Structure formats: structure tokens, C-alpha cells
Amino acid sequence: MNVAALANDQGLFDPVLIARPLRTTVAELADSLGLGLDAVQRRDRVGGVKVQTRLREFVELLNIMEPRMGGPLMAYAWLRSEPLSGYGASTALELVREGHADWVHDWIEAVDHGIHA
């Protein structure tokens, strides 16, 4: 996904612009990222550090997985549903929701290097 196309005129990640190409709702996106609905709907909250960090982490992972999965919808489905080996039954988005996007990046890097956790 084109990162610039996902930002609003203030340069902030816009939940509406992120949700639209994924054919999901802002409410579902918020839930997937562990954010309250008001955090992604209220202008004064969308620009907050926590919300922008979660949106950025999500977009980064989506961009990493999109070419591997064949498109943004498949990448989104994978991030939401595939348990990562070595992390119990946690999916990538569950780890992001818990503040561990770095663990997902480490897992992907390990897989790229032939190490299966």
C-alpha cells in the first residue's frame, strides 16, 4: 500500500484511508489494533502518539507481508489469523495490539533467514 496515500493532509495516518482498501470498517481496524473506537474517530485522539504508533506499525507490517501474500487483503487476513510459531497461538496483530510489533518484525526476519521459531 502506498504509505503517502494513507495519510491525511496533516501527514497523519488516517484510519479511514487505511480501512477502505482493506474492505473493512474503522471500527474493525480499531479492534484489530487494540484501540478504542473513539481513538480512531475523534480528531483530537487520532493524532495521539499511541494511535499513530499502532497505525504505523500496522501499515509497516502490511507492506512487508503484501508482496508475500499476493495483495493487501491477503496480507491483512494473514496478520489477523495466522498464529506465529514460537508465540503460542498469538497472531501478528495480537502481538501488535499488546505493543510487541518488534517481535513480529523479528519473527519475519528469522523466517527470512531460514530460522523457524
For 59-64, what is the mean pLDDT?
94
- With respect to residue 62, please indicate whether it lies within any of the assigned structural domains: yes
Residue-number span of the structural domain to which 60 is assigned: 3-112
- With respect to residue 81, please indicate whether it lies within any of the assigned structural domains: yes
- With respect to residue 57, please indicate whether it lies within any of the assigned structural domains: yes
31/106 Cα distance (integer angstroms): 24
Residues 6+ apart with CB under 8 A from 6: 13, 14, 17, 18, 59
73/50 Cα distance (integer angstroms): 24
- With respect to residue 48, please indicate whether it lies within any of the assigned structural domains: yes
- With respect to residue 15, please indicate whether it lies within any of the assigned structural domains: yes
- With respect to residue 60, please indicate whether it lies within any of the assigned structural domains: yes
Tens of pLDDT, residue by residue over 28-57, are 999 999 999 999 988 889 999 999 999 999
pTM score of the predicted model? 0.88
Tens of pLDDT, residue by residue over 81-112, are 999 998 999 999 999 999 999 999 999 999 98
- With respect to residue 117, please indicate whether it lies within any of the assigned structural domains: no
Overall number of domains in the chain: 1
